[in-house]
Structure 1
Amino acid sequence: MDYFLLNLMPDENPDYCFLDSYPEGLGLKTWKLHKGVELGADYPKDARIYMSDDEPGIQLPDLIGNTRSMLVVSRNLQESIRHVNQGPTEYLPVAIYNHKKRMASADYFIINPLGTYDCLDLEKSDIKYHEGQLVKVHEHVLDPRKLSSAPDLFRIREEPEAYVVSQRLLEVWLDMDPRPSNVFLIDLEQSQP
């Protein structure tokens, strides 16, 4: 099966809104959204995020680009993920507010795949280390031997801010009418066993 890296900062359409903040009231718990740790009761009731003042777009796409490595999606995209993905995942409702601080939609979710998945071929991937600590994954190469029990949406162990989507989930998205907007995927190479 093929796998794809989800692009969380697509810049194809300047009319689409963009986010550069976390949900209001999350405080110091934002790290949990980066690491795939369950938020549970730490997630604020009536969570809201404001559109970035630095970006003029106001249209709401199915996947909202952001600088915070959050997977922010419409109800339609959330339902398709929930239907296909069997991995442990939090579906956190969030309202999107426009530049004038008025609610644009209360029908969005932050998808938080819990945990990470050991999926990279560490020898074939281009990974930068500094003093034994991982700094950045420049090129992701998957190890097919590690993918036999992979869910359809997961985080990479070495880079928890990266989201991987399976071919199965992509096919569901391609069959949707209309197709989800602002969803851009990058093919992930797999090493030869």
Structure 2
Amino acid sequence: MKYFLFNCLGNREKEEYCFTVKTPDGGVSTYDLTSGLRLSDEYPDGIEPVFLKLDDRFPGLELASYIGNASNLLPFHISAANLIHQLSQCEIELIPFTLLNPKGNVHSEEYVFVNPVGATDCVNWNETVCTRRKNGDIANYEKIVMDKSKVKDFPNLFRIQNKSSLCVFSETIVDALMKAHHNNLVFIELEVA
């Protein structure tokens, strides 16, 4: 099985696709959506409406299967999100949001944030090239290598335990998304050693 790091910027060569550097407004924060927390626990009475606004510095308004962003968020069109949810093999939450155009008008209500809950111990520290914080988390990295002794326990979608903002997709999900012709998705194959 192959594993791929998901590039949250999307396909930046397609400038017509929606892209934003803005962060969500309303019921959840960027931290909520990148930490691996179960948001139903954090917000037991439900999540207030969530909005994501496109940035006027990026002119693309074409809706794609994924909204590229600079915050490591996972805003997918509901059809792609449902496919991911079906194949994920892990607990994930789908958080609906309203996509706003740069003027603040509704651009789409057919997107959700995919929130994989938890994180997986998966890194081969001997082969990975990174800088770590005092608590062991990855501060920045040049190369992340998956640990082959742990690979049998990997689900089809997971967050990296020491860098929860990074998500890894198995080839099962990647192949399914590509066969369904979903677009604006960039995956980087990870070495397993």
Does the TM-score normalized on the shorter chain lie above 0.5?
A: yes
Other-structure match for 2:3: 3
> Using the alignment, how far apart are the partners of 1:88 and 1:131 within structure 2?
29
- Per the TM alignment, residue 130 of structure 1 is displaced from its structure 2 partner at its CA by 5.3
> Using the alignment, how far apart are the partners of 1:104 and 1:18 within structure 2?
13
> Using the alignment, how far apart are the partners of 1:56 and 1:105 within structure 2?
16
Matched, 1:39 2:39: yes
Other-structure match for 2:58: 55
- Per the TM alignment, residue 109 of structure 1 is displaced from its structure 2 partner at its CA by 0.6
Q: Could you report, residue by residue, the CA deviation over 1:136-182 in whole angstroms, capped at 9, with x for unpaired residues? A: 22211111221212111111112111110001111211221xx1110
> Using the alignment, how far apart are the partners of 1:88 and 1:16 within structure 2?
29
TM-score calculated relative to the size of structure 2 = 0.90
- Contiguous gaps of at least 5 residues in structure 2: none
Q: Could you report, residue by residue, the CA deviation over 1:45-91 in whole angstroms, capped at 9, with x for unpaired residues? A: 33111101221111111111111110010011101101111201111
Higher mean C-alpha displacement, 52-61 vs 105-114: 52-61
> Using the alignment, how far apart are the partners of 1:39 and 1:131 within structure 2?
27
Closer/same/farther in 2, CA of residues 82 and 132 from structure 1, 3 Å limit: closer
> Using the alignment, how far apart are the partners of 1:144 and 1:152 within structure 2?
15
- Per the TM alignment, residue 115 of structure 1 is displaced from its structure 2 partner at its CA by 0.9
How many positions carry a matched residue from both structures? Answer: 188
Closer/same/farther in 2, CA of residues 132 and 76 from structure 1, 3 Å limit: closer
Q: Could you report, residue by residue, the CA deviation over 1:10-42 in whole angstroms, capped at 9, with x for unpaired residues? A: 312111111222321246x43222211122227
- Contiguous gaps of at least 5 residues in structure 1: none
Aligned-pair RMSD on alpha carbons? 1.7
Task: State the percentage of identical aligned residues.
Answer: 27
Matched, 1:154 2:148: no
Matches within 5 A, 1:71-90: 71-90=74-93
Higher mean C-alpha displacement, 135-144 vs 64-73: 135-144
Closer/same/farther in 2, CA of residues 180 and 60 from structure 1, 3 Å limit: same
Matches within 5 A, 1:136-147: 136-147=140-151
Matches within 5 A, 1:1-193: 1-10=1-10, 11-26=12-27, 29-40=29-40, 41=43, 44-129=47-132, 133-134=136-137, 135-176=139-180, 179-191=181-193
Contact 2:51 2:97 survives alignment (8 Å): yes
Contact 1:137 1:159 survives alignment (8 Å): no
Closer/same/farther in 2, CA of residues 54 and 44 from structure 1, 3 Å limit: farther
Matching residue's letter, 1:162: L
Higher mean C-alpha displacement, 34-43 vs 47-56: 34-43
Contact 1:137 1:158 survives alignment (8 Å): no
TM-score calculated relative to the size of structure 1 = 0.90
